[in-house]
Amino acid sequence: MRLSHLFLAALCTATVGLAIAQTPAPSPAASPTTTAAPMPPAPVPQGAKAWLLMDSATGQILAGENVDMPVEPASITKVMTSYVVAAEIKNGKIKDTDMVTISENAWRGGGGSTDGSTSFLPLNGQIKLAELEKGMVIQSGNDAAIALAEHTAGSEAAFVSLMNSYAQRIGMKHTHFMNPHGLSAEGHVSTARDLALMGRAMIREFPNAYAYNKMKELTVNGITQHNRNGLLWKDPSVDGIKTGHTSTAGFCLLASAQRDNQRLISVVMGIESKSQAEGFRLREMGNLNLLNWGFRFFESHTLYAAGAKIAEPKVWKGQADLVKLGVAEDMQINVPRGRYQELKPSMDLPKFVVAPLKKGQKVGTVRVSLDGKVIAERPLVALNDVEEAGFFGRLWDEFWMWWES
């Protein structure tokens, strides 16, 4: 990534409706010198019903098809189970050192006697929560998922309610979960976009729990199983996330990789194949081709650093004449390589910025466009407090505001 907020700020003008206010711009900084390269179309995963490639830092979709089409998430569902468990640990409801009892429901519903993936957990056995989660993540154990759900919320049904609540907070608008493991159930659906958002949230919010996804094998109850994500062996930059397969969902894979400071997330859903080996191969190569294409033809930049001054407009009715504006978090973007200089930044600010202002208060918006399309925007917030002026100061500014309007 390259920190170039001064370059972008030099291009900004502030507009709101018909009220236009020019904002003084800082001196430009050096810009990237990468030469624009021809960009081929994204490699379409063979046989996939839906797929996409997302930039993890920004949530930008770099390529995709049928990204909002309802699909069965299969065992990718377990990423949400991990997310809920991590969130409830953070909230102090449970601990990763808790001893979890394997109920008959977990043993029968997801154990070795079923057709699904299992951690072969013993009936009435007690296992530390952290180890149980590894079993779910690495071995894709349905019994582990059920046991975690029961321990976290008291029952599977109560846990599913938590799953759907957290999904809405993440922004998964077209997702509805019916269970914590992903076996086919009526109404248990998601979309490629939603699954990518879920993976992004897991990576950003709970990196320690996410790290389980790159573990290649785990032994539970004397049985060693390998991680079902074959990309962990094919590309060292891949560190997750989760595979899925049922007869109705097809072969699915939610993957993520980081190279240098750039992280991408890929989703391939619904590949049908009579051969398990062929289904594994197609979902792995579909994701790997997308990741390689994204890393090759896109580059990440930090446009504005958190807390750095982007603009300093005049303040009316305040004890200070000016207020510094910036973004609360780094504003990052992913653009086709060599097209950085074609970005068109702009700022929307009110014609009159009026005190009092509190640090962190939204004052306007900064946007960045490419080819006439807004590809990123963030709130512009006050970086410092500005107290209200006294009676005569406010009266004087009120007159000039009236005069200039």
Q: How many CA atoms lie within 13 A of 54 on its CB side?
A: 25
> Alpha carbon of 198 to those of 14, 27, 59, 191, 314: distances in Å?
35, 40, 11, 10, 41
CB proximity list for 283: less than 8 A, separation 6 or greater: 45, 243, 251, 252, 253, 268, 271
Beta strand 315-316 pairing with 353-354: parallel
Q: Measured between alpha carbons, how far is 163 from 153 in angstroms, rounded to an integer?
A: 10
DSSP 3-state of 111: coil
Please answer whether residues 51 and 268 qualify as being in contact, where contact means their C-beta atoms are separated by less than 8 angstroms: yes
Nearest CA among 48, 102, 82 for reference residue 181: 82
* 265 token code pair: 């997330």
* 304 token code pair: 């504005």
Please answer whether residues 172 and 190 qualify as being in contact, where contact means their C-beta atoms are separated by less than 8 angstroms: yes
Catalytic residue selected from 4, 49, 56, 75? 75
* Bond into 203 cis (ω within 30): no
Catalytic residue selected from 4, 49, 56, 78? 78
Q: Measured between alpha carbons, how far is 133 from 331 in angstroms, rounded to an integer?
A: 33
Catalytic residue selected from 4, 82, 117, 140? 140
CB count within 10 Å of CB 61 equals 15
DSSP string, 237-289: TEEEEEEEEETTTEEEEEEEEEETTEEEEEEEEEE--SSHHHHHHHHHHHHHH
CB count within 10 Å of CB 385 equals 16
CB proximity list for 319: less than 8 A, separation 6 or greater: 355, 386, 387, 388, 389, 393
Specify whether 78 is catalytic: yes
Residues making up the chain, counted from first to last: 405
Q: Measured between alpha carbons, how far is 329 from 340 in angstroms, rounded to an integer?
A: 20
Q: Catalytic site residues?
A: 75, 78, 140
